[in-house]
């Protein structure tokens, strides 16, 4: 089984400042990793994913994440946030075997202030 | 394409009442999922289906039943609602996994359920 820990439940940040959201996972098998974003009163959208290959993955809206196998981490970053980035962000993991289930972290709420 | 839609968007029930939440997808996806989202707990899988006529339990299945009579629809039922089932419910769907490729799930907008 896999599990995900998001280390920050709330992250306040000023507009145009950088932001980093931390995610650590636990698994005994190889994994795929995902970041989803949930804007207020909406469903989840895929922000980016790590499947294999380059450990630095780029997603939509200027976000990127780095997979670190030795530290079992998949932290999300954006160099300069906008007001519109205010949302809840979820890290998720699934095994690379024929297991179709995602395990989600508890979420990090990002609030961007002017 | 509407993607994944959920009906209703909001519902208030009294303890002991029953209801069915409907999820529909128009992407011809084989897999469908029901999650609940509670503050500080992320999304937890209730039940899922890997094809028409098949369902399986997820992480928190107790108190819920599901049916997948048609490929495009996945129903979540609460036979006797309890206040602990107050939550936001999300449906998701994904296409079949081939060659161990990844499993991107597409989510609906959610149903906010309150049980009094």
Domain locations along chain B: 4-115
Could you confirm whether domain A3-113 is CATH 2.60.40.10?
yes
Structure tokens at A91: 């890290």
Q: Model confidence over A74-112: pLDDT tens digits?
A: 999 999 999 999 999 999 998 777 566 789 999 999 999
Q: Which CATH superfamily is domain B4-115 in?
A: Immunoglobulins (2.60.40.10)
Q: Do B110 and A43 lie within an 8 Å CB cutoff?
A: yes
Mean pLDDT of A32-58: 90
Domain locations along chain A: 3-113
Interchain CB contact of A59 with B (< 8 Å): no
Nearest chain A Cα distance for residue B96, angstroms: 9
Q: Is the pLDDT of residue A64 over 60?
A: yes
Q: Model confidence over B68-80: pLDDT tens digits?
A: 999 999 999 999 9
What is the residue-wise DSSP string for chain B?
---EEEE-SEEEE-TT--EEEEEEESS--SEEEEEEEETTTEEEEEEEEEETTEEEE-SS-TT-EEE-SSTTEEEEEESS--GGG-EEEEEEEEPPP-TT-----EE---EEEEE-
């Amino acid at each position: 089984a896999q599990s995900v820990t998001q280390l920050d439940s709330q992250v306040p940040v000023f507009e145009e400042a950088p932001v980093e959201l931390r995610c650590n996972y636990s698994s005994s098998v190889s994994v795929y990793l995902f970041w989803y974003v949930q804007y207020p009163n909406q469903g989840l959208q895929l922000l980016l994913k790590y499947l294999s290959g380059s450990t630095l993955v780029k997603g939509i809206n200027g976000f990127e994440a780095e997979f670190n196998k030795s530290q079992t981490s998949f932290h999300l970053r954006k160099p300069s946030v906008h007001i519109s980035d205010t949302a809840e962000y979820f890290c998720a993991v699934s095994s690379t075997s024929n297991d179709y289930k995602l395990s989600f972290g508890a979420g990090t709420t990002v609030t961007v202030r002017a | 394409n509407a993607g994944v839609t959920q009906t209703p968007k909001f519902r208030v029930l009294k303890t002991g009442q029953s209801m069915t939440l409907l999820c529909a997808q128009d992407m011809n996806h084989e897999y469908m999922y029901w999650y609940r989202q509670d503050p500080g707990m992320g999304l937890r899988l209730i039940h899922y289906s890997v094809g028409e006529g098949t369902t399986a339990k997820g992480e928190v299945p107790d108190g819920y039943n599901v049916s997948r009579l048609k490929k495009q629809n996945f129903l979540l039922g609460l036979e006797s609602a309890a206040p602990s089932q107050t939550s936001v419910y999300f449906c998701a769907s994904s296409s079949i996994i081939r060659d161990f490729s990844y499993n991107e799930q597409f989510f609906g907008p959610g149903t906010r359920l309150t049980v009094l």
